[in-house]
Amino acid sequence: MSDGVSVILPTYNRCTLLQETLESVLAQSLQPAEIIVVDDCSPDDTVEMLATYGDKLRLITKQSNQGKAHSINLALSECQHPLVWIVDDDDLMHPDALQTLTNLLQHHPEAGFAYGRHVRFSIDNAGNRQEWDTGYWTECASEEFLVRTMEDFFVHQPGMIFKRALVDQSGPLNENLVRSQDYDFLIRLARVASGVGTQDVIFFQRQHDGLRGTKENSFSATERDKKWMEYDQKIFRALRDDMDLSEFLPSGEQIQSPTDKRRALLQRGVIMGRKKLWDLAIQDFSDAATLGDAPLSDAETLTLSRAFSSKYGCEEIFDGSFPIAEYKLMFESAPLGSEICRSLSNGLRWRVREALFKGKITRAFLYSRFMLALRRAR
């Protein structure tokens, strides 16, 4: 038995799925030191089911429904061990997950957290299980983890363990967020500590039609992406004001020249664009276009090409919400404006290829037309 890992398992109204999750935690090749399950006042048989596990877990029952973040924070205050693994109540853990993650931290004691991949799965009415890759796993150096995580949330809570002491620096989960509270928490962890990763699969993320959120603020699976984007935007508007511009460079680098500032502005702009905060993105791109006489570097061009690669798609191209007038002004008003615009437009090429691969000819045509418009700012 490990003498160092506390498992936190917040749950609400998912008795059957929770039992499967709990069994996958108990089946770990390296057993956790403790399992804390926090029931958020479930109306189903969750508490009765958990009682059958006896001293295999610690059960905390809440008298009112206060949300997932509150449940996790409550458990964090009760943890008795230096490492924490937060597990969702509808996912399944790989049998060697805990062994893999603890080994990483043992071999990299300077790291504050360890993480790995996850794959998605679903089970049809006949009981057949299908698995598929998420499509957004990012392989990156430790010093790039924060900026690449801000671009996309590719490491989820069940896929990582972290040192409990980090919470004293990062702060607990934001209980005002109904969605994306785990994303916000990961970013704050990555601001105060480095991580170490593996491509090994740590958990299996269940795809199902059950409700999400709290009792008073629940939403369906079909609304999931919309809710994620809504709360991601809240988080990143606040982060843009809170974070020093140098934090948008690889960890450890500082802004010491106009070129450094330009790199940071371009990176922040790409992050804002991927969150559909194009007003803020174009502001950053416009400011960057006035800095430095040198052409864009290969690294800057590559960064800009990711602006339209959000996993939430590019609907702003089709619904008219993209601020084309401000974009055109940037194209015309600054020495590097047209070069930045061309690099941004290049990122739409894979959208065209993806649409063609899926047989969506009309959408591919619209992407191509918009890409040309961006290159010419018309």
DSSP 8-state secondary structure symbol assigned to residue 315: T
For residue range 235-259, list pLDDT tens digits in order: 999 999 999 999 999 999 999 999 9
Q: What pLDDT is attached to residue 1?
A: 39
Q: What pLDDT is attached to residue 206?
A: 93
Given a contact cutoff of 8 angstroms between Cβ atoms, the answer to whether 11 and 47 are in contact is no
- In whole angstroms, give the CA distance from residue 247 to residue 249: 5
Distances (CA, A) of 180 to 58, 134, 187, 219: 26, 17, 11, 14
Mean pLDDT is lowest, of 66-80, 94-108, 271-285, 312-326, for 312-326
List the chain domain ranges: 5-228, 245-376
Is residue 212 predicted with pLDDT exceeding 70? no
For residue range 358-369, list pLDDT tens digits in order: 999 999 999 999
Domain 5-228, CATH number (from 3.90.550.10, 3.90.320.10, 3.30.390.10, 3.40.50.2020):
3.90.550.10
**pLDDT mean over 198-227:** 74
Q: What pLDDT is attached to residue 319?
A: 86
Phi/psi of residue 140, each to 5°?
-150, 160
For residue range 290-307, list pLDDT tens digits in order: 997 789 999 999 999 999
**pLDDT mean over 28-52:** 97
Is residue 58 predicted with pLDDT exceeding 90? yes
Please report which helix (H) or strand (E) contains residue 375, including its range.
Answer: helix 361-376
DSSP string, 84-151: EEE--TT-EE-TTHHHHHHHHHHH-TT-SEEEEEEEEEEE-TT--EEEEE-S------GGGHHHHHHH
Q: What pLDDT is attached to residue 315?
A: 87
**pLDDT mean over 85-106:** 97
For residue range 213-234, list pLDDT tens digits in order: 555 565 555 677 788 899 999 9
pLDDT tier at 134, thresholds 50, 70, 90: confident
Phi/psi of residue 205, each to 5°?
-90, 115
pTM for the full predicted model: 0.91
